[in-house]
Each structure stands twice: as C-alpha cells, then as structure tokens.
Chain A
Amino acid sequence: MVDLTQYLPILIFLVIAVGLSSAFVFLPMGVARLTGAHKPEPAKLTEYECGFPAFEDARSQFDVRFYLVAILFIIFDLEAAFLFPWAVSLEEIGWAGWATMMIFLAELTLGLVYAWKKGALDWE
C-alpha cells in the first residue's frame, strides 16, 4: 500500500517553488515601474533581429527530423518505463521473466536498427 502522505512535502515544496519563482518574475516588473526603469517604446518591443525589421514569420517550417526524434523518444522512453518495474522484481520473476524482457528488448532493438537503416537518426 502506497502511503500518499510521503508526497505531501513535495506538494508543499511545489507551492513554495511556484510562489518563489513567480515573485522573481513579477516583483522586478513592479520595481521597474517604481524606479522609472520601465520605459517601453515600439522599437524596443520588436523581436530580436540583426538590425532590420524581421521580414518573415518566426513560426515557419522546421525540419521534420525534430518530429522523428520526438516519436523515437516516445517509443524508447516507454520501453524504459516498462524496464523499471522489471528491474526491481528480477528476484521474483526469475529466468522466465528475464528471458521475456530480453525478447522484448530484442524486438525494440530491431526497431532501432530499422530506424537507423532508414536514416531517421542521420543529421547530415
């Protein structure tokens, strides 16, 4: 049985951490208004570009490989998630459990080999 009160300190920590970092973000905004450092003007508020107005939308097309990496990440991170409970119960499940996981690992290695051969891992 999981004792959820173990997680209570983490919850309190979360509240304190969010409060602390929000204070860090919003306090200087107030301070800048009080000290007079807050002087917005149109040129200052444009996005960064090397000395000329940006002439295309920043959210343009990007390389499809970033998608591929994200998809591969999901597969292999899930695999790791399956491995974690297996790793702490090796004693109970014995050779049968070990062999099952090794077959699973071999299958996913096949997937990795496939992605590798297809060039999904290449970034010329």
Chain B
Amino acid sequence: MTETFISWGMDPNWAWGVATICGILLIALPLMLAVAMIIYADRKIWAAIALRRGPNVVGPFGLLQSFADGLKVFLQETIIPTSANRGLFLIAPIITFTVALLAWAVIPFNSGAVLADINVGLLYILAISSLGVYGVILSGWASNSKYPFFSAMRASAQMISYEVSIGFILIGIVLYADSFNMNEIVKAQIGHGFGLVNAFGFNLLLFPLAVMFLISSLAETARAPFDLTEAESELVAGYQTEYSSMSFALFWLGEYANVLLMCTLNAVLFWGGWLPPLNIDLIPWFDIPGVIWLFAKILFFFFVFSWVKATVPRYRYDQLMRLGWKVFLPISLIWIFLISGWLMLTRYAA
C-alpha cells in the first residue's frame, strides 16, 4: 500500500505512516463490524438449532439487531459501585478490548497482506492472548463483589491451564513449518497432503493436534461447553456482573473478537489460511482471492463454535481442569516427542 501513496507523490516516510494507519483502520473497523454481525449469526444459529426464530425485528431478517443493542448500551448509564476500585474497574474493559484488537496485527489475510510481518508472529499471538487474563482478573478484583471475584478466579485458572496445552500444540506446528512467521507457516502448508491438499490438518501426526487445538480454543475463549466463568445458574453474569453500559459491551466485543481470532488461528495454523483447499488450478482463467478462502474457513469454524454452543451441555469445573492437565498436556508432550523424532528421522536425516 505504501507504493500507491508514493506514486501519488507523497514523501516515502509519510506514505508509510499513512499506509500503516490505513491498514490498522482496515483491520479494526471491519473487525468491529464483523463482531456485530457474528453476534447476530451466533444468536441466529443457536435459535435455528433450538427451533426458534432468533432476532427478526430490527432491520431485514433482524440484521441490525446488534447495532440496536450497541446503541442501547451506549446511551445507558455507567454504574460504578461505591465499593469498587474505580481506576482498575474502568481499566479492565479497556485492557480486554485492546488486547483483543492487537492480536490481529500479525494475521495474514492474503499472501503478504499482513500489518506487521514480524518473524515471531506466532510468539506474539501467544504473548498477546496471555495478556487477556489481566482484563478478566482485574475486572473481578476491582468489582469487589462476590460473584465477579469467583468468576475471575475460575476464568484465569481456566485460561492459563489451556494456554499451556495451546503452547505445546503450537510447537508441533512450528516444528513442521520451521518458522514463527505466520505467512511462512501458511506457505509451508502448500501441497502438504500428498502434494494435493493445502493443510497441515491432513497430516496424520498433526490431525490430533488440530482437534486438540479446536477444543482448547473453545476453552481459552470460555465458550460453551466451557463457559463456566459466566455460568448464570451459579455466578450471575460472571466477572461482568457489576458492569453496565459500554464497559459491559467492551467485554462482549472483546470476547467475540477473541472467538473470531481463535477461528482464524484454527484456519491459518491447521487448515491452510488464505490458501485454497486443493493445490490444483481448477479454474485456470480466474483465481479466487485468498482472503475469500480465509473468510470462508473462519466462518466455517465459527459455525462449529455456535453449533457446539447449542448442542453440548456445560462441563463441570473439575472435568474442565482434568481435560486440560491430565489429557491435553500429556498428549501434547508425547506429540512433541513424536513429531520432532519423525522430522529428525525423515526431513533432517543426513
């Protein structure tokens, strides 16, 4: 994009700055729009599975429901409880939403279409998603109320538990791709399955990791069936109980932005990202843009997330911790041994 601005007669430094800010806005604004639409889609899918209609009043087919909700919370009063720590109470939603936006800086939307093409992209995503815990624990602590506090304890323990197994699962991907750069990881998947399928998931060694990553990403974003942090029968609305107005909505937006991020990571790391699924040119005169493939994959994974939410009953907390520490962690440790050993025997044998 910088070249376009230079060709318009701009100074290279200025052109770079303007291009970067345009890139940021091109990520942040469509992301917020996508979050609004994805909340609508989530409600609609859930309703359809439960044989209900879902939102259908505001706009055609209820399409504008999320915007109406947004306007409503925007005009609401912000209630800050007297016993709360005011500063931390207001900082918590800011952290949650900022972190949810920031992780998108290294996601490749097409070949080379990435805001910051850093060589440790995957590590950056791990680091940023770890920071999300701060928003949760600060909101629970600063509310100085019983239920948010319990919920924040649960949520942070849950998030860090699954971060461990996600870290080990990603090592399997890094071993195969031999890079942390997100674009390199996508390119390493070209023709990975018999030279025909562009996806790591088609590798028999990596498929179990793909399944574990999908389940871990449900747990990491506290989606059903792992939504214990806002189990309304025991914890009211979880760590957001004391929040109102836009500060409440920021948690909501951040949560869905994180869900979208996890869907994107599933697509990028295991199922080829912006690559077409098959490594053959079916339509020689026309190439479907990579970004369309990426969005199709993201929407597929989001549908899976909604589907799971509508059909799978909620886990108990002990079952959740057992799954994370006693199932996923040992399996991913063994898988590191298997994958690295296999690569040593085949790719690096000499």
Contacts and interface: CB of A to CB of B under 8 A. Distances in A.
Main secondary structure of the interface of A (DSSP, over half): helix
A28 B75 contact: yes
B171 A80 contact: yes
Residue with the greatest number of chain A CB neighbours at <10 A, chosen from B23, B84, B94, B150: B94
B20 A77 contact: no
B157 A95 contact: no
A90 B147 CA distance: 48
Main secondary structure of the interface of B (DSSP, over half): helix
Contacts of B143: 47, 58
B206 to A, nearest CB: 14
Given A13-B105, A28-B246, A37-B77, A112 B336 contact: no
Interface residues of B, number: 84
Given A13-B102, A17-B97, A39 B250 contact: no
Contacts of B27: 13
A77 B336 contact: no
Interface string A78-107: 001001100110110011001001100100
B74 A28 contact: yes
B98 A91 contact: no
A20 B32 CA distance: 11
Contacts of A116: 326
B171 A9 contact: no
Given A25-B250, A46-B82, A73-B160, A31 B74 contact: yes
Nearest to B246: A28
B261 to A, nearest CB: 14
A77 B98 contact: no
Contact of B98 (A17, A26, A122): A17
Contacts of B148: 58
Contact of B341 (A35, A62, A98, A109): A98
Interface string B80-102: 11111000001001100110011
A45 B84 CA distance: 9
Given A91-B178, A102-B337, 10 more contacts: A10-B102, A12-B24, A24-B93, A27-B246, A40-B77, A70-B156, A83-B336, A84-B180, A87-B340, A124-B318
9 contacts: A6-B116, A9-B116, A16-B28, A47-B83, A58-B148, A73-B164, A90-B343, A112-B333, A122-B318
Interface of A: 2, 6-10, 12-14, 16-18, 20-22, 24-29, 31-32, 35, 37-40, 42, 44-49, 54, 58-59, 62-63, 65-66, 69-70, 72-73, 76-77, 80, 83-84, 87-88, 90-91, 94-95, 98, 101-102, 105, 109, 112, 116, 121-124
